[in-house]
Chains A and B, each alone.
Chain A
Amino acid sequence: MIRTLPNSKAYTYGYRLYIGVYFLFLFAPLVVTCVLAFNNSQFPALPWKGFTIEWFTADRPGRVGIFHDAVNLDSIWVSFQVAFFVTILSTAVGTCAAFLFEQEDFPFKPALYFLMLAPLVIPGVILGISILLFSNTLGTFFEDHWGIDVGLFRPGFWLVVLGQFAFISTLVTLIVSARLKKFDRALEEAAMNLGAGRFEVIWHITLKFLRPAIIAGAAVAFLMSFENFNTTLFLVGSETTLPINLYLQVRDGSTPVINAISFLLIVGTSLAAVANLYFSRKNH
């Protein structure tokens, strides 16, 4: 069963075969998507008609590569902007929440902690429609009572940011809390004995200690935001994010341009994964 125990040959090879098949299953869709991005054909399908990079670079009728595809480039840019703001907001609030639940004491703390975990068990679609409804209610209220039309309350960029922020903050909170639990509070007491105030201690000592967790939390936040579909679906306005835009295209038929975008996403995230592995090795 395990390394130290004797196993029959059939068992060992059978097990290895299963693991092999599992990883084949895991990578088949990604590898095929990447390979077909370079097929010189109008459709993302076999047979192989020769290698081309035109689905990235071409700019002529009938074949527009991703680097000249304004709609898709725009949606990538929107996704970057959304992810940027979600990362900033959720990292800041998530870190505050980690301090709040690990180091402070206040009435109803368990109830608030439970509420903080709630976004983990709320399906993304429900979160999306709730926020859509509530912003609509607020918008109508503002309009009826004060006659102000607030753009924020209509589906669009900022509503997407808020919707994603609502559940991504929980993830950041959990990541930062996990490290804050390991913090030796004697260090804080020492700093206070030497005359530091609470905020000086947090700034100079606790945040320094938390830095790897905050960076990890921000990375997760960026990625989760960049690829979010469920919550965004209901909140998106005229500026579509990349996953929504891809969905609309795939639903109506596909071209190898989608493969080219997927290839760029896969390569980008793989590089990030390798970098992450490298840095976590270095920290150990």
Chain B
Amino acid sequence: MNRYRLTLPLICFLTPVILWLFLLIVLPHIDLLLMSLQTENDSGRLVWSLSNYLNFFQEPIYWLTFVRTALYSIMVTFLTFVVTLPVAFYISKVAAPKFHGFLMTLLLMPFWVSEMVRVYGWMILLRESGVVNHLLVSIGLLQRPVEMLYNDVTMVMGLVYTSMLFMAVPLISVLESLDNSLIEAAYDLGANMWSILFKIIIPHAMPGIVSGSIVVFMLTLGNYLTPNLLGGKNALWFTEQIYNQFIASFNWNQGSAFGFLLLVLSSLIIWLGLKLTRQKLSKVVQ
């Protein structure tokens, strides 16, 4: 029992951390759960009830948005991986080492800028009076400008764009630890590009792929700006449903239920991802 001594340094370090985690993480989320289990009855008093969750399953618009958001997030995560892997491989293995710092800075720079600015950039590029339309019309490829914003393709592109960095950094760091001689050996033994990719590079990069995917998935699922500004106006993202309940309808109980469901979904998929690849969260975040 005497293994742990309550020393002064321990108290000094423990107190702020406990305050932070309990006051700002644990208690607010317990409150979220409690709020989601209450509803206003006819006389306007709060009573315990599951009706917020029943609403969710009975109204197709709610659960369809939920399923749509989840499936699109998985798709965005996969696309981000496919788009980023060649770049990560190029920077860590193909490009001359002296360009490494330069390429990394170039890769990271856009993500230091606020997401708002990046989305705005896409808006002025793609909208009906936008730059891309102007160029296409002036070289004669289009007769008249077309609206390229407010559809799912643009939204997915925007989400992939926003997420690329969070996939690229873990991939680059894990590919740098891959021994070149393994690839050389496979090549000498007659392996082609695809078997090197699937038998050597991807298995080795798995920890990086998992940690990148978790971050990308979580950020995509919880994104509000990109679906709101680039996506279609009649197909909502689930975070927009939450926002509508909180800010527009002022139904905080319903909004809490949605929030809690989103939290459960994101935790569940992350947990599944970790289980399937037999990794630990504490390992992945490093």
Q: Within B207-266, which residues are at the interface with A (CB < 8 Å)?
A: 214-215, 218-219, 221-225, 228-229, 239, 242-243, 246-247, 252, 255-256, 259, 262-263, 266
The digit string for B32-52, where 1 denotes a CB below 8 A from any CB of A, is 100100000000000000000
Interface positions of B from 7 to 35, Cβ below 8 Å from A: 7-10, 12-14, 16-18, 20-21, 24-29, 31-32, 35
What residues on A are CB-neighbors of B184 within 8 Å?
Answer: 2, 4-5
- Indicate if the CB atoms of A104 and B120 lie closer than 8 Å: no
Contact A229 B116 (CB under 8 A): yes
Interface of B is mostly: helix
B94 touches A27 (CB 8 A): no
Q: Please, how many angstroms separate the alpha-carbon atoms of A18 and B114 in the complex?
A: 26
With a 10 A CB-CB cut-off, give which of B124, B135, B229 has the most chain A CB atoms: B124
Residues in chain A near residue B71, CB distance under 8 A: none
The CA of A23 and the CA of B102, in the complex, are separated in Å by: 13
- Give the residues in chain A near B141, CB-CB below 8 Å: none
A262 neighbours in B (Cβ, 8 Å): 113, 117, 120-121
Bound CA span A124–B222, Å: 6
A133 to B255, CA, bound (A): 10
A192 interface hit (Cβ, 8 Å): no
Contact B26 A104 (CB under 8 A): no
Given contacts A93-B20, A122-B263, A126-B222, contact A277 B32 (CB under 8 A): no
Residues B107 and A15 in contact, CB atoms below 8 Å apart: no
- Closest residue to A230 on the B side, CB-wise? B224
CB distance from B93 to the nearest CB of A (A): 5
- Decide yes or no whether A191 CB sits under 8 A from chain B: no
CB distance from B198 to the nearest CB of A (A): 13
**Residue A169 interfacial (CB < 8 Å):** yes
Interface string of A19-48 (1 = CB under 8 A from B): 100110111111011001000000111110
Counted as pairs of residues, one from A and one from B, with CB atoms less than 8 Å apart, the total is 261
Given known contacts A5-B184, A230-B222, A25 and B161 CB-to-CB distance under 8 angstroms: yes
- Asked if B113 and A123 sit within 8 Å, CB to CB, the answer is no
Residue contact B252 to A133, C-beta cutoff 8 Å: yes
- Nearest B residue to A109 via CB reads B4
Q: Among A22, A130, A227, A265, which residue has the most Cβ atoms of chain B within 10 A?
A: A130
A127 to B13, CA, bound (A): 24
A interface, by DSSP: helix, strand, loop or mixed?
Answer: helix
- On whether the beta carbons of A96 and B12 are closer than 8 Å, the reply is yes
Q: Which of A19, A28, A137, A274 meets B90, CB within 8 Å?
A: A19
How far is A178 from B286 in the complex, measured between Cα atoms in Å?
8
* Contact status A121-B28, CB under 8 Å: no
B130 touches A5 (CB 8 A): no
Which chain A residue lies CB-closest to B12? A96
* A interface residues, how many (CB within 8 angstroms): 93
Decide yes or no whether B180 CB sits under 8 A from chain A. Answer: yes
A144 within 8 A of B: no
Among the stretches A51-59, A62-70, A110-118, A208-216, the one at the interface with B is A110-118
Check A277/B101 contact, CB under 8 A, given A46-B134, A117-B281, A258-B120. Answer: yes
B183: chain A residues within 8 A (beta carbon): 1-2, 5
A202/B9 in contact, CB under 8 A: yes
B270 touches A (CB below 8 Å): yes
Is the CB–CB distance between B285 and A174 below 8 Å?
yes
Separation of A209 and B119 alpha carbons in the complex (Å)? 40
Which residues on A sit within 8 Å (CB–CB) of B32? 126, 129-130, 133-134
Residues of B within 8 A of A131 (CB): 24, 28
A123-B125 CB under 8 A given contacts A243-B116, A277-B101: no
With contacts A100-B14, A120-B285 known, is A26 near B239, CB below 8 A? no
Complex Cα spacing A247 to B224, Å: 11
Is A184 at the interface (CB under 8 A from chain B)? Answer: no
A145 contacts across to B, CB distance below 8 A: none
Asked whether B24 lies within 8 Å of A162 as measured between CB atoms, the reply is yes
List 21 A-B pairs, Cβ < 8 Å.
A3-B96, A5-B184, A15-B86, A19-B90, A26-B164, A28-B125, A29-B121, A43-B129, A97-B13, A106-B14, A122-B266, A125-B239, A129-B259, A133-B35, A165-B24, A174-B285, A230-B224, A233-B243, A262-B120, A262-B121, A277-B105
Known A-B contacts: A18-B86, A251-B229, A254-B124. Give 4 more (CB < 8 A): A104-B14, A117-B285, A123-B263, A125-B222
State the B residues within 8 Å of A (CB).
3-4, 7-10, 12-14, 16-18, 20-21, 24-29, 31-32, 35, 83, 86-87, 90, 93-94, 96, 101, 105-110, 112-125, 129-131, 134-135, 161, 164, 180, 183-184, 187, 193, 196, 214-215, 218-219, 221-225, 228-229, 239, 242-243, 246-247, 252, 255-256, 259, 262-263, 266-267, 270, 281-282, 285-286
A-B residue pairs, 8 tightest by C-beta: A29-B121, A123-B222, A130-B28, A227-B114, A134-B28, A166-B24, A100-B13, A269-B112
